[in-house]
Amino acid sequence: MKLYGISNCDTVKKARAWLDQHRAEYQFHDFKKHGLEPELAQCWLQQMGWESLINRKGLTWRGLSVEQKQAINDNNSALPLLLEKTSVIKRPLLEQDGKLLHIGFDDVSYEKIFNFKS
């Protein structure tokens, strides 16, 4: 199990705290420190689509020009943005064996994924 995100993101902190509290085994991959492999980003785009992966409410997206935003209209046009500005990716992303299990964090979804009962 791998958790992808940015260390100082509040939602990532909540997810990591939940995983630690429930003693779930996982590896954390920080986009800021370790980047994002193009093959992995492409795999995620194929699984979820660019509209699910890009956080259009975040500061990074809002900081883009109108032209830059309008140029993102499919998976192929989104890939360079995901690789260049990893903070535009919704986070955290929970992945296992190449399959993206969940984007974001909420207790109920994580309980189902890890088969925990509240």
Buried b / exposed e along 97-110 (16+ C-beta atoms within 10 A): eeebbbbebeeeeb
* Pairwise CA distance, residues 2 & 94, whole Å: 6
Does residue 43 carry a catalytic annotation? no
- Residue tagged active-site, from 3, 9, 12, 72: 9
Q: Would you please indicate which residues are annotated as catalytic (active-site) residues?
A: 9
